[in-house]
Structure 1
Amino acid sequence: MRSFFRWLRPYGLVVYWVMLLGLMYLETVNNLPIPTDAEGAAFAQNFENDLSRNVFASLIEITCLYLILRPWSFTQSIGRVVGALVLVLLWTSGLFYVAFNADRISNVLGIHLLWLVVLNLGLVVILIWRVGRLLWRSLQQSRQR
């Protein structure tokens, strides 16, 4: 189990990103009937070049996360997680603002926003884990003295 977590640390974000790409691709391929309102305007639809635009945006996001977090040398660094969490929260809130104030939002953008929310939750869990581990070690060291 320990070797699995050792493998998951550097490659977990890439696996998560590939899952996002698969979901966005499936949403683009599966052109289901679009629900419309009384005037015939679609609530949600995929726009032209929406998949490529969201793939490019998610590639930039995952690259920035790798550069900030540097999971291959991630040992007891709370500052990296806080920095990444602040940047991703700002980016997510900006995208939510744009999406909520738009007339229509694409299904692919909705999946991308959901991906960002889960990414934020994952960063919060990692931050809580790191702070708890740091406090536990400091408590153990103070008991030994």
Structure 2
Amino acid sequence: MCALAILLALLPWYSHHLQTEALRHAELGEQVKSLHVAERTVSVNPLSMQARFVLAGAQQRVGRTVEARRTLVSAVEMQPLNYEGWLQLALYERDRWGESERAREHFAIAISLNPYDDHLQVEAGVKDVEDLE
């Protein structure tokens, strides 16, 4: 029983460690290795939104756009009230996939879930940077 408690306590740390490793491999240009580590990250902690974001980035970098979209959609389906998932999906749609209309819809959902985040509103194009000063 104690060993199980220790294992459960270490899972978030290990997941974060794997996320960091996946990003390090990506920075070194080792995209396939990054993808494999990112996949392992999600398998270790399937409820982690951040792990799914890292995986989507790795999938996108190796040209697996359909899988990257599926990963981000699964993140928003898993935690539909978490604005971060909607934000990440909108950013990919706007910046990588050229789907500005879908991005606007998903930015709107993110803003509705986190209406007081000025930086989110700037990212979505609702406010200007000058409005933050």
Same fold (TM over 0.5): no
Q: Normalising by the residue count of structure 2, what TM-score does the alignment of the two structures yield? A: 0.31
Greater relative CO (CA pairs within 8 A, separation 6+): 1
The structure with the larger Rg is 1
